[in-house]
Amino acid sequence: MDKMTNGAPEEHKPAAALVSKRGYDVTRYPHLNKGMAFSLEERLQLGIHGLLPPAILNQDVQVQRVLQNYQLQKDELDRYVLLMGLQDRNEKLFYRVLISDIERFMPTVYTPTVGLACQQYGLIYRRPRGLFITIHDRSHISTILQNWPEHDIQAIVVTDGERILGLGDLGCNGMGIPVGKLALYTACGGMPPQKCLPVMLDVGTDNEELLNDPLYIGLRHKRVRGAAYDELVDEFMKAVTERYGMRCLIQFEDFANTNAFRLLNKYRHRYLTFNDDIQGTASVAVAGLLAALHITKSRMSDHTILFQGAGEAAMGIAELIVMAMEMEGSPHDQCMKKIWMVDSKGLIIKGRDHLTVEKQRFAHQHAETRSLEEAVRALKPTALIGVAAIPGAFSESILKTMAELNERPIVFALSNPTSKAECTAEQCYTLTQGRGIFASGSPFDPVTLPDGRTFYPGQGNNAYVFPGVGLGATACAMKHISDEVFLLTAQTIAEQVTEKDLAEGRLYPPLTSIRDVSFKIAVKIVEYAYRHDLATVRPEPSDKPQFIRSLVYSTDYQDFTTDSYRWPEGSMKVQTCKL
């Protein structure tokens, strides 16, 4: 059981109150560093007087300096490098910058720019951020975890780099994904960054280009699979919980289909874990569909949904759609028949060879159909969802057919990054005469049609989901995370979409409100956890919103002249200082 202290678990106390640093170390420790914002008294007390220029610049001025430098960069990759460098130097300033305009900076620190950053990771790598655990570290993982300087980790994002976004096997270069995800845990959800840990499980790569790249930062051999791979992941899960406790959240990210489902099913009831590509994507997609129902004036079970793709994202979305239909009162078998999928071999139907167990669940009786366009004409879907990273898969003909079949066709081009999107927002709105209900995985600019109507495409970004889920699950130290949590999250997101948003084409709340959305998700999850006996923090907080607020990370600088900072032994605390 986690003990409560003044309304919050002890592990949620500010890091600055639990660590002691002095002198040059303070200016090189991103959790504590304030740059030129240290007051003269703080500089004297911390032993850094003379290590900084004499001017004292407050955080607002520092933000302006970062923004000016940001504007001077020539492209998005340079902007990414600039912001990651800031994160390495001054964490609170980094998050203050992100929060100052999350809509502007999210595409830089995450999709779509993070995809390019991962492709160039060997070139832009600067400083260690997170842990790199290799297949050769078996039987030593617990020792490696001891090397990480923070002792209280509550959230881990782990990848093996085999399926990075829609870019494929990027091996160790995929570390950019856990780093980016956890930055959003803090920026969008308020999780304290020092309690977050990115992890790369490097088992090799099958990407020949990387294996021949002298700048590649990972192991230079083919991927290790089979028993050795499973032993590595097993040891990792056990080592994490031995080091940080059973209530440390472990988020699986960008594993290939062959491992993603298997590992989720293996661990979901034994650890506090989820797979964002399966469950997070499902939640944000269903949130968009629930919002779309307000436009179509229909129920989920009224729709026939066709997927381009049958991987982990498609399966996760489909399962959650079925759950939403069942909540409306529809029988399970009837709900399953509303879901159809097209993969690289055509429509998934009964009797087709070499279907995985997951695909067999959504295989229905139908004539063989080779292409997506054929499937659209035959099945007459009301919603089309793309999650196969095939750019342009939603052709002009397909979009026009969807518009012919439906008064308000639902078109979700969810593949990331932008270069992998099934269609653009402009294509959807133009070819459906503005009747299409559109969402994408990466951001698109507003679209103005010839008749003067302007639409603001909804971005079905998982950032609406995992920060709030992470904050809620760790706040009450849940035992495990069920699929009901992700449906609850989808419903909470959809509830924040206003009639004005819908009229403008938005299926999600504005990104400017994402911290508030995450907060509401966290509160709902904590309430759910206590209601279903899944929470282990005791006693149960009477005021759950206030309990969550007490845990949210503040980007305000620590005041080192107060008693909240533990002074290093032998240092002299100066009470007053005059120039």
Say which DSSP state 408 is in: S
Around Cβ 112, how many Cβ atoms within 10 Å? Answer: 20
270 to 224, 245, 526, 579: CA distances (angstroms): 25, 13, 20, 60
How far is Cα 396 from Cα 426, in angstroms, rounded to an integer? 11
How far is Cα 262 from Cα 254, in angstroms, rounded to an integer? 13
How far is Cα 236 from Cα 134, in angstroms, rounded to an integer? 11
| Residue 384 near residue 410 (C-beta atoms within 8 A) | yes
| Residue 111 near residue 416 (C-beta atoms within 8 A) | yes
Task: Kindly state the helix (H) or strand (E) to which residue 291 belongs, with its residue range.
Answer: helix 281-296
Task: Using the CB atoms, write b or e for 176-212: b if 16+ within 10 Å.
Answer: bbbbbbbbbbbbbbbbbbbbbbbbbbbbbbebeebbe
Around Cβ 378, how many Cβ atoms within 10 Å? Answer: 14
Q: Would you please indicate which residues are annotated as catalytic (active-site) residues?
A: 110, 181
How far is Cα 100 from Cα 70, in angstroms, rounded to an integer? 13
| Residue 495 near residue 488 (C-beta atoms within 8 A) | no
How far is Cα 398 from Cα 507, in angstroms, rounded to an integer? 22
Helix (H, G, I), strand (E, B) or coil at 346: strand
How far is Cα 96 from Cα 101, in angstroms, rounded to an integer? 9
How far is Cα 313 from Cα 386, in angstroms, rounded to an integer? 10
Helix (H, G, I), strand (E, B) or coil at 155: strand
Outline where 218-280 has alpha helix (H).
227-244, 257-267
Helix (H, G, I), strand (E, B) or coil at 242: helix
Q: Which residues contact 455 (CB under 8 A, 6 or more apart)?
A: 425, 429, 434, 438, 446, 447, 448, 449, 504, 505
| Residue 133 near residue 236 (C-beta atoms within 8 A) | yes
| Phi-psi category of residue 51: left, alpha or beta, with phi > 0 → left and psi -120 to 50 → alpha | alpha
Q: How many residues does the chain have?
A: 579
469 to 16, 24, 185, 402, 477: CA distances (angstroms): 25, 37, 9, 34, 12
How distant is the alpha carbon of residue 573 from its chain centre? 42
